[in-house]
Chain A
Amino acid sequence: MAVRMENGHGGQAVHDERIDPQANANLAVWLGLVALTFMSAVFVASNVYLRGWNPSKFTLNNRLLTDLPYWDTLLLIVSGVLVLVAAAFFAKDRWQAFNAVLALAVLSWVATALIQFRLMLWFAGYSQQIKTIDWPTSMIVFGLTFISAVLIAIAGWYASFANKAKVNAFFPVAMNVWLYTVMFGIVVLLMERVLTVGQFAAWCGLHA
């Protein structure tokens, strides 16, 4: 790669100091998300472990509440695939197809967020143990999906500009949040539904 010292292209000064603000933004967003991961993990583990509740207290005996998270996560994965498809069109500058897929994606993300919101309310009213573990984690997942939907709306708004510089800068960085949200949703499902919180508590060394 030829290193060029560009001092102004038609008044637009591009001074290349080998600093890539967008790569820094990607890393910064990811480090923030990593911090959120550790906060959530410590929060859940400490609540399960330090409170020392009997693992059987974490059992959910509600068909809807045990099944709906699976459907919700499936929809979340579909949402993730949609933004990846949008990213393929984004890389090829096919803006019309990009906007169409983004419109589908925003519907999917909003639907996921709404289901998550309803789940959050149901978990809050179930039992004290469920309220301590499932409620806060579903709150975090709802927050992430809601923020993702807002980020997609912003990306769609930027994509409507004739000058694509803003969407070019914004979309790759927002992609970190979308992919993280999908991963977080899958991990929460694995931790709370596939493995039960009770099994997790037993894994922490608590016995019935």
Chain B
Amino acid sequence: MTSDGMTIELVQHTVSFGHGAIYWSILIPLVVAGSLLIFRRRDVL
């Protein structure tokens, strides 16, 4: 309940730029490494 008498049901949370940068810098190399591994080991036909 705020001082204006309003009830807030939704709260905003913050996600930092560093959080996003680390997230993508882990996810994309993982995907690239996985696809390279599959491409090297699997027949293309």
A binds B: no
A: which residues have CB within 8 A of B? none
B: which residues have CB within 8 A of A? none
